[in-house]
Amino acid sequence: MQIHIKRGKESSIERGHPWIFSGAIFKIEGNPKNGDVVDVMGSNGAFLARGHYQQGTISVRVLTRNENESIDQNFWNERLRLAVELRKKLGLFRPGNSICRLVHGEGDMLPGLIIDWFNGVAVIQCHSLGMYNSLEAIKNAVIHNLGESVKAIYQKSAETLANDSGAKNGYLYGSCETPHIAEEYGHQFSIDWINGQKTGFFIDQRENRRLLAQYAHGKTILNAFCYSGGFSVTALKANAAHVDSLDSSAKAIVLTEENIKLNKLEKNHSSITADAMQHIKELDKNYDIIVLDPPAFAKHRDARHKAVQGYKRLNAHAMRYIKPGGILFTFSCSQVVDKALFNNTIIAAAMESGRQVRILEQLHQPADHPINAFHPEGEYLKGLVVEVL
């Protein structure tokens, strides 16, 4: 089965972009179904790539540009080998660390596939039907590369695929009771991939949590949008004077309190169940540090303007109430809000707050969330550490 590209539309594919958009397609041969492997041919008939087909804006997710490379078990074994090797280079399988992102989609040359690793349990999310159809080979590749260290493999794709995909969550290999304890830089976290958001834990803030520890000693901290309390645990372990964990979700607060208790940090911690935007507008207490790690305010370009206004209001409120000399850790995980736009939004918030602000650190996703050099869209997490004078 072949996808033929319009003349003049080959350039992005030739430059290495892993997506082929429907508007670039001239004709389709062979009647491929969603999830099928197809060959992509240039307007001159030459082979360009091979990947998973799916009807929609992104019509093909590229798996290989090598015409002689079959999408067989050897392919999956080799891609997972490269992914595991990188995480070992990063020291993410050493004592004290048993949490990492094992496969990060396009960044690991496997577009549409996410695998997170929690102390022997691999949790898979498929964002394309092609990946979902390949689960057996992916499972085999995980076991082939990680051997006896694999206790269980759980796939959780019902939430990430279309309702008509028939995707069901469940174990592909072994089983494991949840919540399951895993470690990040020696901090213990209770992970529940079955009932928790996404794969159960937000791994992408690992290095930013570690950075917070450098600022936290003796400080009073507000961790807004705390989810499972990752920033709170790290700050308290670094001898913060007190941490308030804030989230609108009662479930998130329960997760946070479980993790605080697991690390024996209850003494200097309080939980607040409230709407973060409203709560920060009415702060009656000055904090030394405020962490703002909201969920994505925009998942599509048509919501970008509204998202930017939301980020501006949220950060302006925090800047108004933080102590003079206070530190703000602020983030956006909205892919459609790029780094420049986010930075400009924080500057606009500073102007609105009437406070002097200087940027101390520019933050991003960690190295186990690699960005394909030919797919800049993969850089989704942006953050700043700013001092508010």
Q: Are residues 101 and 148 in the same domain?
A: yes
In 3D space, the residue among 63, 50, 23, 36 whose CA is nearest the CA of residue 129 turns out to be 36
What does DSSP assign to residue 85?
Answer: H
Asked whether residue 188 is assigned to any structural domain, the reply reads: no
Q: Residues 162-186: what's their mean pLDDT?
A: 91
Mean pLDDT of 349-365: 96
The reply to whether 240 and 368 lie within a common domain is: yes
Domain identity same for 153 and 113: yes
Q: For position 329, what pLDDT does the model report?
A: 98
Question: Are residues 128 and 161 both part of a single domain?
Answer: yes
Quick count: other Cβ atoms within 10 Å of Cβ 168? Answer: 9
Taking CA 332 as the corner, what is the angle to CA 215 and CA 12, rounded to the nearest 5 degrees? 130
CB atoms under 10 Å from CB of 76, counted, come to 23
**11 and 102 share one domain:** no
- Domain count within the chain: 3
pLDDT for residue 51: 97
What's the CA gap between 45 and 50, in Å, rounded? 14
In whole angstroms, what is the distance from residue 173 CA to residue 307 CA? 40
Tell me whether residue 100 is one of the annotated catalytic residues. Answer: no
- Look at residue 330 and tell me whether its pLDDT is greater than 90: yes
DSSP-assigned beta bridge partners for residue 220: 242
Stretch (H or E) spanning 39: strand 37-41
State the DSSP string of 300-358. Answer: SGGGHHHHHHHHHHHHHHHHHHSPTTEEEEEEE--TTS-HHHHHHHHHHHHHHHT--EE
Predicted pLDDT of residue 48: 97
Q: Looking at 100, 126, 176, 333, which residue is catalytic?
A: 333
User: 294 preceded by cis ω (within 30°)?
Assistant: no
Beta carbons of 278 and 307 less than 8 angstroms apart = no
Comparing C-alpha atoms, which of 231, 240, 336 is closest to residue 293? 231
Is residue 345, in this structure, part of any structural domain at all?
A: yes
pLDDT-based confidence at residue 297 (cuts at 50, 70, 90): confident
**Placement of tokens 């609105």 in the chain:** 352
Instruction: Report pLDDT digits (tens) over 13-54.
Output: 999 999 999 999 999 998 999 999 999 999 999 999 999 999
Q: Which domain holds residue 20?
A: 2-64
Residues 276 and 368 in one domain: yes
d(CA 294, CA 3): 40
**pLDDT tier, 164 (very low <50, low <70, confident <90, very high otherwise):** low
CATH, residue 26: 2.30.130.10
Q: What is the CATH number of the domain that holds 338?
A: 3.40.50.150
Task: Check whether residue 160 and residue 223 sit in a common domain.
Answer: no
- Tell me what pLDDT residue 75 has: 98
Q: Rounded to the nearest 10 degrees, what angle do helices 206-216 and 230-237 cross at?
A: 40
| 288 occurs within a structural domain | yes
Q: Which residue has the tokens 């605080």?
A: 260
pLDDT grade for 63, boundaries at 50, 70 and 90: very high
Same domain, 359 and 382: yes
